[in-house]
């Protein structure tokens, strides 16, 4: 990871900025994991961020707090939807990083649909 990206490694949240069709940015604080220089965000297919990424793969990320307050600089990136094996690996990494919280959230979110991993390259 480059120097800018190293600012997120020890963080719990990143602010993920995606874009509406109009170009208007939407910021969402999210959990994340890093594997092989790729940042993964787990969500479900019906979320707004997934819908926005289907139209525009460009994103910005920045370290942030629980409510999205910035703790560092924005980093430009490109997002794609991860393959099944990448998604499974990202889910395991998320459980390891976030522990019991991830297991509880995973159980609640499972009711909303199958998990989708957003893979971000910077």
Please say whether the structural domain 3-121 has been given the CATH code 3.40.50.300: no
When mean pLDDT is compared across 4-8, 91-95, 114-118, the lowest value belongs to: 4-8
The strand pair at 13-19 and 38-44 is best described as unpaired
Q: How far apart are CA 46 and CA 39, in angstroms?
A: 20
CB contact set of 27 (below 8 Å; sequence gap of 6+):
15, 16, 17, 68
What's residue 110's pLDDT?
62
What single-letter DSSP state applies at residue 7? Answer: T
- At which residue do the structure tokens 């997120």 appear? 8
Confidence at residue 1, expressed as pLDDT on a 0 to 100 scale: 61
């Amino acid at each position: 990871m480059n120097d800018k990206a190293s600012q997120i490694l020890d963080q719990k949240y990143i602010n993920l900025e995606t874009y509406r069709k109009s170009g208007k940015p939407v910021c969402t604080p999210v959990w994340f994991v890093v594997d092989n220089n790729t940042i993964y965000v787990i969500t479900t297919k019906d979320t707004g961020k997934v819908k926005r990424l289907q139209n525009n793969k460009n994103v910005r990320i920045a370290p942030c707090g629980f409510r999205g307050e910035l703790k560092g600089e924005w980093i430009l990136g490109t997002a794609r939807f991860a393959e099944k094996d990448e998604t499974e690996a990202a889910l395991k990494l998320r459980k390891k990083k976030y522990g019991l919280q991830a297991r509880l959230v995973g159980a609640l979110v499972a009711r909303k649909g199958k998990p989708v991993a957003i893979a971000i390259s910077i």
